[in-house]
Amino acid sequence: MAAKTDNPKLPLAKECLGALEKCTTKSHVAAWTKKYMATLGYKAVGRILIGESPAQAIASKGERRELATK
């Protein structure tokens, strides 16, 4: 199974990562997390928060396994 690189949510996931990296307080993180949870979903945002790449965070279960082994 080939990983999808044309996922329409990928630019939004990258934007989410950039916004969360710039946060300086817990309230900023909470506000940005709420914003992106509405569009990306709570699981994808949670994966970004724990350090996964945006592509891996929005990929399906099988695609995540494939990306993790690369």
Decide: 5 and 67 in contact? Cβ < 8 Å: no
Token pair recorded at residue 25 = 């307080």
| pLDDT, tens only, 12-66 | 999 999 988 898 888 988 888 898 998 888 999 999 989 888 888 888 777 777 7
Q: What is the pLDDT of residue 70?
A: 67
Q: Collect all residues with Cβ–Cβ distance below 8 Å to 39 and sequence separation of at least 6.
A: 9, 12
The rounded distance, in Å, linking the Cα atoms of 65 and 18 is: 24
- Residue 2 DSSP class: P
- Judge whether residue 1 has pLDDT over 50: no
Q: 3 or 62, which is more confident? A: 62
Q: For the whole model, what pTM was predicted?
A: 0.72
Which regions of the chain does DSSP assign to beta strands (E)?
Answer: none
